[in-house]
Amino acid sequence: MPEILIISFNRGITGKEVIKTNVSFEQKLDMEPFIDKSLNNSKSLNYVLYGINERFGQSKNQGHYICFIKVNNVKWFRFSDLYVIESTPYLNSCDVFGLYYIRSDYLQKYT
């Protein structure tokens, strides 16, 4: 299993309108039920959410991207064009574009 797991959502941005389906996600992700145990050479199959991309806007011609980053696995920050503020992301969003997970056994390496 990779050190970093990226889940990207096709929001239909190449079409006329952006798909706004709600997506619920967890801060912790256990991949064990989805992996053939005989193929796994990783120590862990557990992941921790550390980044979220969101895109606001109704059409492909306009929109605004922001991201949430969890710093030192402690506090969430919201990054926008003009500011960075401490902010907890919603785990249910119709604007989520990408989720970034780190394998739990690599977490200490980056904090």
The residue among 57 and 85 whose pLDDT is bigger is: 85
Query: Terminal CA-to-CA distance of the chain, rounded, Å?
Result: 20
101 versus 38: which is more confidently predicted? 101
Give 111's contacts (C-beta < 8 A, 6+ positions apart): 72, 73
Residue 96 has pLDDT above 80, yes or no: yes
The per-residue DSSP string of the chain comes to --SEEEEE----TTSSB-----EE--SEEE-GGGS-TTT---S--EEEEEEEEEEEEEETTEEEEEEEEEETTTEEEEE-SS-EEE-PPPSEESSEEEEEEEEGGGHHHH-
Question: Is pLDDT at 88 greater than 70 in this prediction?
Answer: yes
Q: What is the pLDDT of residues 29-57, one digit of tens each?
A: 998 888 887 776 667 889 999 999 998 87
pLDDT tops 70 at residue 72:
yes
Q: Answer whether residue 15 shows pLDDT above 80.
A: no
